[in-house]
Amino acid sequence: MALSLAVGRSAREVADKLQMPKAIVHARASMYRSAGIRLKKMQRHRTKALDVEGLNKVIAEIDKKMGRVGGEENAPARKKPQLDVEPADTEDIVRKVALRVLVWVTFTASVACR
């Protein structure tokens, strides 16, 4: 296993060679690295990468069919939420939250000890 990890180019290649799930290959490689074995980093393959250009083309086609002109410039502007909180208010909020957490932890501990 360690030799295959050292020689292989990707976790998928090692998994295919050893006929085991890729997740197990990653787990074992992590375990070996934790034990001090100096394995190289494997190439990563992004399976969930966005095809931005392709998606924008599809959106443009939909806009064209719907009679809409343009894209992002016609999209509604997004406002960033703003909080009007003063530093003194922040301290008060933190104290109240900390007190509630303390009460909850104390209650949970007392119930668990029954």
SS (H, E, C) the chain: CHHHHHHCCEHHHHHHHHCCCHHHHHHHHHHHHHCCCCCCCCECCCCCCCCHHHHHHHHHHHHHHHCCCCCHHHCCCCCCCCCCCCHHHHHHHHHHHHHHHHHHHHHHHHHHCC
pLDDT at 72: 56
pLDDT at 45: 64
- Give bridge partners of residue 10 from the DSSP assignment: 43
**Other C-beta atoms within 10 Å of 29: how many?**
23
Q: Average per-residue pLDDT in the chain?
A: 79
| pLDDT greater at residue 23 or residue 9 | 23
The pLDDT tens digits for 31-79 are 888 898 888 777 666 667 777 888 888 888 888 888 877 655 555 666 6
Residue 64 identity (one-letter amino acid): K
**In whole angstroms, what is the distance from residue 62 CA to residue 74 CA?**
14
Residue 9 identity (one-letter amino acid): R
Q: Are 71 and 53 spatial neighbours (Cβ–Cβ below 8 Å)?
A: no
| pLDDT greater at residue 98 or residue 48 | 98
pLDDT at 73: 56
